[in-house]
Amino acid sequence: MAFDVLCAWLYPIAISVYMSDEQKETFFNNHPEMNPEELNNVPKEAHSCDGFIATGDATATGGTIMTRDFMISPALGNYAVMMRYKPDKGNDFVACNMPGFVGLGVGMNDKQVAIGVDMISGVLTNPIAVGMGCLLKCRWIMQYDDTKEEGAETIDGDVSVATGVPWIYPIADMEGGLVCESAPWTFFARTDDYVFPEEEVDQNSGVIRQIENRDDLILFANHYISTEMRESDFFSSIYENLEANGHYATLDSIYRYEFQAYQVENAIASDGITSEDAIALCNYHS
């Protein structure tokens, strides 16, 4: 749990430290009308994680592709290995992981279920919650759950009693994908056929919306998208009046999400996403 709390609390500080006042002003003042190419003006250290799940007509083969981008290359990029787990009970699974880790941040099991985890910046945590941290939770789902729906149920069932820190968990299987948006006491599974109700978006948080409008594509970064999560106390504590309060971590996430959507939609229009496309799309700023 300590790892989880540090990620939620320190990322907003880190991004402000890495970005100069001039970079912040240049990058965010015109949001969200900026040219996607301006993403290159932001230092790599300011980024966190993002990805997408595409299936059916969105892919070249009609199968499912899930990407998971770790934008902390000094650690995972240099030292991570592919690990195969063969537990005495449950499913076999593989993970791209740090040597020695029991939990995992991204993996796929022998039922063709894949999972990842993305942090949400915020200080409204529940540090006295007793339960599994995000990495162990991903491991549990890989080992014991056979569908994305079962994985979502595992996370949902844990929210009320053992979730102390906000996280996003993208989960995919051969039928498509969903993104579990979880926080202390709050949970919503945003599925790939989720319809974003534009009319429910208020002025304060209007910059956050779902861009993808296909039922075979879902994207994620480091912020909540569903209107259901907007109604929670956690959401309002960090998302209202984003520009006025200078939540650069959240604005950075929103922009990476927009940039990714722009790139992914272009790839889909070119006869669907291939595995080679997926590698390039999730490696856009390495």
Q: What is the pLDDT of residues 3-21, one digit of tens each?
A: 544 554 455 444 444 455 5
Q: Which of 179, 169, 232, 166 is nearest to 205 (CA)?
A: 232
Whole-number Cα distances in Å, 190 to 144, 145, 167, 182, 210: 22, 18, 13, 10, 10
pLDDT beyond 50 at 100: yes
Ranked by mean pLDDT, the top range of 46-60, 71-85, 235-249 is: 46-60
* pLDDT for residue 41: 54
**201 or 97, greater pLDDT:** 97
Does pTM top 0.85 for this prediction? Answer: no
**236 or 92, greater pLDDT:** 92
Q: What is the pLDDT of residues 103-133, one digit of tens each?
A: 898 999 999 999 999 988 766 677 777 777 8
**19 or 81, greater pLDDT:** 81
In whole numbers, what is the pLDDT of the chain averaged over residues? 78
Q: Please give the Cα distance from 5 to 124 (Å, whole number).
A: 10
Least confident of 38-52, 75-89, 152-166, 253-267: 38-52
pLDDT beyond 90 at 178: yes
Determine how many CB atoms are found less than 10 A away from the CB of residue 54: 31
